[in-house]
Structure 1
Amino acid sequence: MPIFAVHYTYSDATVEGRDSFRPEHRAWLNGLIDAGSLLTSGPYPDGSGALLLFQVADEATVEQLLVQDPFAREHLIDDVRAVEWLPVMGAFAS
C-alpha cells in the first residue's frame, strides 16, 4: 500500500487556536494510528508546520481523512501538501 507524506504549514496567527484544539487534534491522530492509516506524525521544531505519514490506498483516501482533522475544521492550517512518497531504505521501506 502506498505511503503519502503530508506537510502542514502553520503561521503565527494560528498558534492560539492550535494550542486550544491540540488535544482534539492528537486524539484524531491517535485514532488514525490505531486504525493503521497513520504511520507517524509530528510538528517541525520551528513551529512552521508538521509532517504526517499515511499508508492508505490512494490520495483520495488521504484527502478524505485530512478534512476530518480538527485543525482543518477550525481553519488552523495555512497550507497542505500531500504527495505519494516512495521510501527505498530504512524503517518505512518495503
Structure 2
Amino acid sequence: MTVFAVEYTYVDATSDTRDTHRASHREWLKGLVDTGVVLETGPYPDGSGALLIFQADDADALTAILADDPFHAVDAITATRITEWKPLFGPLSG
C-alpha cells in the first residue's frame, strides 16, 4: 500500500455547507479509519482546509475513494492536492 497526503482547501463561502454536512463527512472518515484506509485526519485550526493521510493501492484508487466524500458531493472542497508520501520515521514509517 502507498501512503498519500491529501490536502483539502476550503473557502469561507462554503462554511455553511461544511457545517451542514460535517457529520456525514466525519462518519465517512471514521468508516475509512476503521478499515485502515485513513491513517490520520484533521482540520487546520484557521478553517482553511484539512490534512488527511490515506493508504491506497495507487492514486487512481485514492481518487475513487475521495469521490465518495460527502463534502465532495456538495462541492464543499475548493481544491484537493494529493501527494504520494513516504514516511521515514515514526509510527507510519512501517
What is the TM-score of this pair, normalised by structure 2?
A: 0.97
Q: CA deviation at 1:44?
A: 0.4
Distance 1:78 1:56 in 2: 23
Letter in structure 2 aligned against 1:74: V
Runs (4+) off by over 6 Å: none
Query: What is the match of residue 65 of structure 2?
Result: 65
What is the TM-score of this pair, normalised by structure 1?
A: 0.97
SS in 2 for 1:61: helix
SS in 2 for 1:71: helix
Letter in structure 2 aligned against 1:25: H
**What pairs with 1:1-94 in structure 2 (closer than 5 Å)?**
1-94=1-94
> How many residues are paired up?
94
SS in 2 for 1:21: helix
Q: Which consecutive unaligned segments of at least 5 residues does structure 2 have?
A: none
Distance 1:53 1:4 in 2: 6
Distance 1:5 1:29 in 2: 14
